[in-house]
Structure 1
Amino acid sequence: MDLAFLLAHASHVLSTELTAELAGLGITPRGNCVLTAALTGEKTQIQLADLCGLDKTTMVVTVDELEKAGLVARLTSPVDRRARIIVVTEQGREVNAKAAGVVQRVYEDVLSALPAGERDVFVNGLTRLVESRLSTPVVCQRAPRRRR
């Protein structure tokens, strides 16, 4: 059993499916992550990038795409004029609500491949790994490229 391959393959296939399903709404999984995080309260681009695991350049490109689609607006932070607060527009709220349904449907479909009694055990076990042993990558000379 190659655990790294299994996890990477599952992640890649799930990400690809989510990308295909969300395309009908004109949004990417990364864009949806930013929209969802921005709906939790006033957050700067940097704060949202941290929440979504995005680097600065990717975050700027993502917000540019969302802004061009009319899903978010950039506002100057009232506490730091150099920072931008990302505000979700009404259209962005509607798209995010539809996207949440799509994501939920895909997740339910994926997990339906497991017997009902194993679904929660699988998700809980994976959550514990990500929150503990697999929470932070070790420092290494040639870190593997991370898929987004």
Structure 2
Amino acid sequence: MAASISLDAGFLLAKLHAAGSVLNNRALAEFGLKERSYSVLALANSELEPTQREMAEFLSLDPSQIVALIDELEKRGLVVRAPGKQDRRAKIVSATAAGAAVFRRAEAAARAAEAEALTDLSDTEVGELKALLRKALWSRAA
């Protein structure tokens, strides 16, 4: 008989995240990254041109946490800040050429860690899982 907590979606998501975090952080360590800094670098490499505030909102982090993560990546020469196009007080975060190169290699390692975390699921099930998670996260925002 399964414990009732094993039927709780929040518990299951937390357990999956915890297991995935261990694998992700292990895979990202060779690049001097952890999940959060990798996430910031990923957004800086996107075509979205996110501001620090947008990054904080998207990643559900406090703005001070984002600033510290960006500071670390900036010291390593992986990202730069520039004034926003509409609001010059807002800071757009973009990857440097070095940041793009590190991200490409780190992304491959993160994909391998994801595959390891989800090894018992078929490709179709992984796609369904991701689609359901995106729907649960962003369907009300649309």
TM bucket (normalised to shorter chain) is 0.7 to 0.9
Answering whether residue 76 of structure 2 is matched by residue 69 of structure 1, we say yes
Q: Among the aligned pairs, what percent are the same residue?
A: 33
Aligned to 1:6: 12
Aligned to 1:44: 51
Judged with a 3 Å threshold, the aligned counterparts in structure 2 of structure 1 residues 62 and 79 are, in CA distance, closer, same or farther, namely: same
TM superposition score normalised by structure 2: 0.79
Matched position secondary structure for 1:19: helix
In the alignment, the residues of structure 2 paired with residue 57 and residue 74 of structure 1 have an alpha-carbon distance, to the nearest angstrom, of 15
- Aligned pairs for 1:1-148 (under 5 A) are 1=2, 2-3=6-7, 4-41=10-47, 42-114=49-121, 118-121=122-125, 123-132=126-135, 134-135=136-137
In the alignment, the residues of structure 1 paired with residue 131 and residue 85 of structure 2 have an alpha-carbon distance, to the nearest angstrom, of 38
In the alignment, the residues of structure 2 paired with residue 43 and residue 10 of structure 1 have an alpha-carbon distance, to the nearest angstrom, of 28
Contact 1:76 1:83 in 2 (8 A): yes
Matched position secondary structure for 1:27: coil
Q: How many residues align?
A: 131
In the alignment, the residues of structure 2 paired with residue 97 and residue 124 of structure 1 have an alpha-carbon distance, to the nearest angstrom, of 22
Aligned to 1:140: none
Contact 2:28 2:35 in 1 (8 A): yes
Matched to 1:135, the amino acid is: L
In the alignment, the residues of structure 1 paired with residue 134 and residue 33 of structure 2 have an alpha-carbon distance, to the nearest angstrom, of 28
* Structure 1: gaps spanning 5 or more residues: 137-148
Deviations 1:40-89 (A, max 9, x none): 23221111222223221111111111111111011122321211111211
Answer 1 or 2: higher relative contact order, Cα 8 Å, separation at least 6.
Answer: 2
Matched to 1:24, the amino acid is: E
Pairwise CA RMSD = 2.0
Give the number of the structure whose residues are more often helix, by fraction: 2
TM-superposed CA distance for 1:128, in Å, is 4.4
